[in-house]
Amino acid sequence: LKSIAVMTSGGDSPGMNACARAVVRTALYEGVEVWGINNGYHGLLDEDMFKMERKDVGDIIQRGGTFLGTARCKRWEKPEGRMQGYKNLVDRGIQGLVVIGGDGSLRGASLLSKETGIPIVGLPGTIDNDVWGSDYTIGCDTAANTIIDAINKLRDTASAHRRCIVLEVMGHRCGWLAMTAGIAGGAEYILVPEEEYDLDAICADMAKAYKAGKRYILVVVAEGAGSGQEIGKYIAEHTNIDTRVSVLGHIQRGGSPTVIDRVKASQLGEQAALAIISGLSDIVFGFNKGHVVSINLHDAVNNKKTLDPEYAHLARVLF
Ligand code: ATP
């Protein structure tokens, strides 16, 4: 192809900038025209896009968020919306699209490709690490590090007061963030949507541990596994343990990306640009055991990722 476009869509994640930068610079290196689309599918429908130069992606690799802006766009969920988006691309001579976003954004991309045949390459950009076929999504490492930073601080105050702290973290319907940050932060209990849990058994367990002299307990709850507030209230009512709840919220989305997120996002961006330039379509690039892999776009959006059972086992052993 001779002209491509790149956008970020859905929830932002640290490393999206590094990724878009790699797409742009790889395309320019290959002598291909590249457009940036502002604010995801919104910008595509509102014709908010511009031809990019090398310097347009300067000074952004270290920044969280996305310099292109991102959005959720209802109009894109209708076939007429997607057809308008396709027309806006064709009008500018844009022959292929790279979409950096979460599973919803990739679903929108999959439909555009099916309906119009325009070449599309997707890249998993979300802190949730919930894209099927890849064991990594752009931003998940920074978010996990943000969570363990919070856990370290919460441990100090929990220990000082002999409290139980319930920390609710993001992850949508996926427990990866809670599980990895929980393991890294040494949480006593990690509640994830992929695993059933028995709150009464946990309360009984906690009460026993307190009686035996335990100073504090940390419970990490994935947002998809329940409400931190409700779980905290339940623990407070069913044990004599002074319990506090912390909902980490959007702090998890921000921050300067870690080395891992910058490098992996750059690798994925490069591969996506090379693939789309050579005319490949309907693929998502991700990682599998440290290596870049390509995944069928439609498979990626039609399958649900499962949590590595080794994590849950490890969490139980280390508790
Ligand atoms: P994150 O998981 O990090 O929040 P995401 O990409 O999954 O990111 P969504 O809000 O699910 O975020 O999706 C972003 C946009 O993608 C939506 O606003 C919509 O424009 C488009 N999209 C999502 N699902 C669909 C769908 N089923 N059909 C068409 N477009 C969709």
Tens of pLDDT, residues 117-135: 999 999 999 999 999 999 9
Cβ distance 286 to 177 under 8 Å? no
pLDDT value at residue 210: 93
Predicted confidence at residue 61, as pLDDT, reads 98
Which protein residue's CA is at the shortest distance from atom 31 of ligand 1?
108
List the residue whose alpha carbon is closest to atom 9 of ligand 1. Answer: 104
How far is it, in rounded angstroms, from Cα 120 to Cα 262?
23
Q: How confident is the model at residue 319 (pLDDT cuts 50, 70, 90)?
A: confident
| 47 has pLDDT over 90 | yes
ipTM: 0.89
CA distances from 192 to 8, 162, 185 (A): 28, 25, 15
77 lines ligand 1 (CB under 6 A): yes
Q: Tell me the mean pLDDT in the region 252-257.
A: 98
Q: Does 77 have pLDDT greater than 90? A: yes
CA distance 123 to 24: 14
pLDDT at 87: 98
| Closest residue by CA, ligand 1 atom 10 | 10
pLDDT band (50, 70, 90) for residue 238: very high
Averaged over 144-173, what is the pLDDT? 97
CB 191 within 8 A of CB 222: yes
Per the prediction, the chain carries an average pLDDT of: 97
Ligand 1 touching residue 282 (CB < 6 A): no
What are the pLDDT digits (tens) for 183-192? 999 999 999 9
In short, whether 105's Cβ falls inside 6 Å of ligand 1 is yes
Is 156 one of the catalytic residues? no
Instruction: Say if ligand 1 is within 6 A of residue 111 CB.
Output: yes
Query: Binding residue per annotation — 250?
Result: yes
Q: Which atom of ligand 1 is nearest to the CA of 125?
A: 3
CA 76 to centroid of ligand 1, rounded, Å? 9
Give the residue-averaged pLDDT of 286-297: 97
Antiparallel, parallel or unpaired: β 164-169 and 49-51: unpaired
CA dist., res. 273 & res. 97, Å (int): 9
User: Which of 12, 56, 128, 130 is flagged as catalytic?
Assistant: 128
pLDDT at 316: 87
- Is 164 known as a binding-site position? no
Q: Would you say residue 276 has pLDDT above 90?
A: yes
